[in-house]
Structure 1
Amino acid sequence: MTMTFHASLRSGLAAAAIGFFAVAAVTPMPARAQPAPAVQQDPALAAEIGKVNAYTGLMNRTLRAVESWQRYASWVDMRRGPTGRERYISYGLYSLYDVTRELAAARQAMVSPPERPALDEAVGRYILAYEALAPLITRAERYYDRQDYRDDRMAEGRALHEQMVPAAQEFLAARAALEGQMRAMRADLDLRELADIEAREGRSARWQIRNTMIQARAVINALPPRGQRQVDMAALDEAIAGYSAAIREIDRYKERDPQGLSMFEGRASSWLGSLREFRQKLGRSRGDIRRVGNEATWLVNNYNMLVSLAGTAMSMSRMRR
């Protein structure tokens, strides 16, 4: 499971694609050439992964609300509210996704073992905040898409603005709190899951993918929060070094299995080269991320592509076993 959502600079760069990449909680298929039965996944770990995956699904799907609010805020004077004379009023808002299944899964996970009181409560607050904001966004999206403000002189638009601002603030605060809880739990599960895969399979293709994506996420997490310009260069250097070590581990694996990771390895290696170029430019700008143009956005977008490819590669690696 590679965490990919951020409500910070990282969401500002590529909010649509950055979410949590769910962990694979799957009992491994027996290896074709191995008569011995495969070691089963730790049930306690599988239960925790299931809970996090349910919350992950909800956060990924409801990220659309963050994007929609950012869209609205890009053309509205948030203090004054809409007037109908805005230059980019046609931007409106993004429509939201149906999250019925994700809400149901998250609510079930909240009451399912293992108990994680702080995390479960944070999810409950997040659900309430989302359900308060979502109907307002939906009404506003339709209002601006239909240009109803031309008929009522922006009366409903102003009324919606007064309701949406506090609801959005509550939602974003709840999401930030939940992100913190998820990040802490994910860090622990990452290490446990990686150790579990190694115990069952050795440093297999799946181990290589998971290890690489854990290190890749550390690089993304080293980028500054939204609104901040200065990169912690020491933290970024440490993260890049960790990712580089993961790529070297893949190189060693490829010596044993040249056909393994054929889809994943090339993209992962290329991303390392991009990271080093990005680091060099940041060094020249003394860590000011705003002085490297669109490099950060490009880097995050390619990370998101790597996340998607990792999911496919994980599935294919299970089929090869």
Structure 2
Amino acid sequence: MTHKSTTAHTLACISLALLATACSKKTEDTSAPAATSMPATASVASSVAGTGNAAAKSAEASSSKLQDYIACYNKLDGDGHRSIARYRSWVKDMDKGPSGKESVVYGLYKIDVDDIAKCKASFAKPAAAQGKLDAAATAYIDSLTELGALVTDAEVYYSRENYKDDAFAKGKKLHAPLADAMKRFEEKSAVFSDEIEVENDKVLDAEMQQLEKTEGRQLPYLQMALMSKAKQLVRLIAEESFDAAAAGQLLAEYESLTDEAIAYAKKNKESTASGWSSLERATEDYRKAAKERVRRIRDKVPYSEGDKMMLKPGSGWMVEGSQEKVSKAYNALIEASNRMNH
């Protein structure tokens, strides 16, 4: 996952079995409290061949640790980013902080510090070393712990409207450490997400190879393959700009896998899971959104004035060829795929 654009980075929720990244924080509506829209974390389809030897036990421990990292990341990360977005939606100058003259004061969204503490304790449990991933996990949970404590204090201050009694004195005092903690969290979140992706890609590749070897190109394999290709594609086209030719090639590969899966499901209706129909619809919606995005960049189609007015949290997904529309369609694809595996 690259950091060239906010949208590309914030395809965030990760699911181990299908290697999903979803839930773009960029498109969150910060005008009202948001319930989490994160897809359920799919269960791990472990490729560990057994636990009868040290190597297998080590691999199993690594897989379990990765699953733990993913579960905590999915549970915690969105809340952190949403709280930051909420604060930034009304504090117009993050260098200076609140002026005390704001016409609207939204405050911040709560972050569950108890959940953070549980994940921090879980992260500290010994397991097979995973190098950069473990270091990124520690830095991430430490930054979130710091942010959670500051947000808790600030949320109480703003939700109780205490700023009306002290002329924003505490709000102004809280701002600098809060803004610094937000920046650190965003940096550590990006690094942690990337390291999870690296390890998760390895797991998926191993799973796919094993599945194709043992079962052939049946629907379970095709589902994993098309989801992997969808992820490669979204990583590229959710950027501000990208190589349209490379995107076109990835899109063609995604379409080929999707068409193969659809044909297989149609031919084997009796053995196809009931959730396939929803996943098939989601693959088509993502296909359409991806094509619109590739065409806009390939043909250098600028956004109209009306489009530009819509390109904001909560409505950007309605603009044809936008990053937000691709993200929304991809997130829905992940959710449909995860539901099929439960």
Partner of residue 25 from structure 1, selected from 24, 44, 49 = 44
Greater mean alpha carbon deviation, residues 240-249 or residues 43-52: 43-52
Aligned to 1:270: 285
Native 8 Å contact 1:14 1:301 kept in 2 = no
Q: Which amino acid aligns with 1:128?
A: D
Give the secondary-structure state (helix, strand or coil) at the position aligned to 1:4: strand
Residue 310 (str. 1) matches residue 310 (str. 2): no
| Aligned residue-pair number | 293
Q: Which runs of 5+ in 1 are unaligned?
A: 28-39, 316-321
In structure 1, the partner of 2:328 is 301
- Matched residue, 1:107: 124
CA distance in 2, matches of 1:160, 1:50: 38
Letter in 2 for 1:198: E
Q: TM-score, normalised by structure 2?
A: 0.75
Segment drifting more, 97-106 vs 262-271: 97-106
292-301 vs 282-291, greater mean Cα deviation: 282-291
* Cα distance in 1 between the residues matched to 2:232 and 2:199: 15
Which amino acid in 2 is paired with 1:310?
Answer: S
Say whether the 8 Å CA contact 1:2–1:214 is kept in structure 2: yes
95-104 or 158-167, which deviates more: 95-104
Deviations 1:189-232 (A, max 9, x none): 2211212233444333322222221111112211355xxx3233
The answer as to whether partners of 1:194 and 1:211 remain within 8 angstroms in 2 is: yes
Counterpart amino acid of 1:172? E
Q: Is the 8 A contact 2:22 2:331 kept in 1?
A: no
**Cα offset for 1:21?**
7.0
Residue by residue over 1:128-183, the C-alpha shift from the partner in whole angstroms, topping out at 9 and shown as x without a partner, is: 11111111011112211221100111111111112112222222221122122122
| Greater Cα offset, 191-200 or 76-85 | 191-200
**Residue 241 of structure 2 corresponds to which residue in structure 1?**
230
Determine which of 130, 146, 152 is the counterpart of 2:166. 152
> Residues 88 and 233 of structure 1: is their aligned pair in 2 closer, same or farther, counting only changes over 3 Å?
farther
| 2:289–2:325 Cα contact (<8 Å) kept | no
CA distance in 2 between partners of 1:207 and 1:241 (Å): 18
Pair 1:209 & 2:216 matched = no
Percent of aligned pairs with the same amino acid: 23
Q: Say whether the 8 Å CA contact 1:126–1:175 is kept in structure 2.
A: yes
Query: Which residue number corresponds to residue 85 of structure 1?
Result: 101
Looking at structure 2, the residues matched to 313 and 5 of structure 1 have their Cα atoms a distance apart, in angstroms, of: 16
d(CA) in 2 for partners of 1:84, 1:217: 44
User: Partner of 1:84: helix, strand, or coil?
Assistant: coil
Cα offset, 1:23, TM superposition: 5.1
C-alpha contact (below 8 Å) 2:237/2:294 kept by paired residues: no
The 2-side partners of 1:234 and 1:23 are apart by 33
Partner residue in 2 for 1:181? 195
Cα 1:204–1:253, aligned 2, differ >3 Å: closer, same or farther? Answer: same
CA distance in 2, matches of 1:214, 1:302: 15
TM-score, structure 1 as length reference: 0.80
Q: Residues 143 and 149 of structure 1 are in contact (CA less than 8 Å); yes or no, is this contact kept in structure 2?
A: yes
| Aligned residue in 2 for 1:195 | 209
Cα distance change on mapping 1:287 and 1:47 into 2, 3 Å: farther
Counterpart Cα distance in 2 of 1:26 and 1:187: 13
1:244 lines up with 2:255 in the alignment: yes
Q: Is the deviation greater in 202-211 or in 96-105? A: 96-105
